[in-house]
Amino acid sequence: MKHTFASDNYAGVHPEIMEALQLANQGHMGSYGADGYTEKAIKKFKDYFGNDTEVYFAYNGTGANVLGLSALAQSYHAIICTDLAHINVDESTAPEKFTGCKLISIPTKDGKLYPAEIEDRIQRVDDQHHPQVKVISISQSTEFATVYSTSEIEAISKVAKKHNLFLHMDGSRISNASVSLQEDFRRFTRDAGVDVLSFGGTK
């Protein structure tokens, strides 16, 4: 049997998902989010993350990341990420084009960012000739399939708060991280200091 690990969304969907799609494919409902399924999905997110959670659905991960980052930063800002981050390597120039921000990438051997490295990249604060760091973006799980512990995320959040920055999480494989950590989603996201989460539902 041939196996490919190019991407986990290459495979067909689980039969339970197909069955749910078939059950939903009947009758008439409102469009553009004015339907019962969207309402149920939003409620589920609020159950996981809190009733004051705002949910915006996106077509794909690139769109979700760009939307989330755009909400946090302006065109004179910079975003710190690893050199292997999906926003730096596999989303073409979309994050920079649509946010107007500069990506500051930090070389990594394990896919993770660390507080001391982040501190080193926060330079020339309030200098109008230099992009001002405003967002730290991490991937959970990382592009190397490593997983941030909750304490590691809390440490990064501490740096963010110290410098009045936001913490964004690319959670394209967040379910894998939840299983690995044996923690619910909220514990290592919102409760750990994450401001905006791109929640991946297909990988």
Give the side-chain half-sphere CA count within 13 A for 46: 12
- pLDDT value at position 7? 72
Displacement of CA 76 from its chain's centroid (Å): 21
Mean pLDDT of 101-115: 98
> What's the pLDDT score for residue 2?
67
Residue numbers of the domain that contains 40: 10-55
Q: Is residue 16 part of a domain?
A: yes
Quote the number of domains for the chain. Answer: 2
Q: Indicate whether 138 and 181 sit together in one domain.
A: yes
User: Mean pLDDT throughout 126-136?
Assistant: 97
- Categorise residue 26: left if φ over 0, alpha if ψ from -120 to 50, beta otherwise: beta
Q: Quick one: 44 and 144 in the same domain? A: no
**Domain presence at residue 42:** yes
pLDDT at position 13 is 85
We report the CATH number of the domain holding residue 185 as 3.40.640.10
* Residues 34 and 131 occupy one common structural domain: no
In a domain, 164, yes or no: yes
Same domain for 16 and 84: no
**Same domain for 65 and 32:** no
Structure pTM? 0.93
What does the pLDDT look like over 134-163, one tens digit per residue? Answer: 999 999 999 999 999 999 999 999 999 999
Looking at the fold, whether 79 and 34 belong to one and the same domain comes out as no
Task: Tell which of 25, 40, 55 closes a domain.
Answer: 55
- How far is it, in rounded angstroms, from Cα 169 to Cα 139? 6
